[in-house]
Amino acid sequence: MAKKQKIDRHSPENLTAITQMQSKLRLGWLLWLCYRGFGLPILLSLFLPTAPDVVGGVAWHLLWLIPALVVSPWMLMGRSAYALLISSMLTLVYLGASGVTLFARLYDSGISVLWVYLLDTALLLLTNVWLFKLLKRLPSMNG
């Protein structure tokens, strides 16, 4: 059985990996914020038979995103392990809510708009994976 190798947090390879993870996290976070705030309400207004109001949908989703907007500077910089740990807790709450919404809409709206919610959940899941990979590579919080 092979031993698990410990990551040298100050090696050039690790610093390159951290930079790559930070850029992936930044991209995923911005994509999810834009999709959740604007894309999801616009797509729902186009594809739902009830044609909900776009402006009201965008306003509602931006209101729902206030905590995410507050932690956005931490997510975009991706340097502080403490801040990213708090952000990861928040993104896990959003992921849980997004998953519940996905399954609730499966029974409510049918399969026609399920892909809209599935894309939201997938973007958030991908962002969480990149966040956890970055947290693993960042220097330890306890020295």
Residue-by-residue DSSP string for 11-28? SHHHHHHHHHHHHHHHHH
Asked if the model's pLDDT at residue 7 lies above 70, the reply is no
* Long-range contacts, stretch 46-50, CB < 8 angstroms, 24+ apart: 47/112, 47/113, 47/116, 48/109, 48/113
Give the whole-number percent of the chain exceeding pLDDT 70.
Answer: 90
Output the pLDDT for position 75.
93
Q: Are 17 and 137 in contact (CB under 8 A)?
A: yes
Handedness of CA 105, 107, 113, 115 (dihedral sign): positive
* Residue matched to tokens 């997004």: 98
* Long-range contacts, stretch 50-54, CB < 8 angstroms, 24+ apart: none
pLDDT, average across residues 106-127: 88
pLDDT, average across residues 9-35: 89
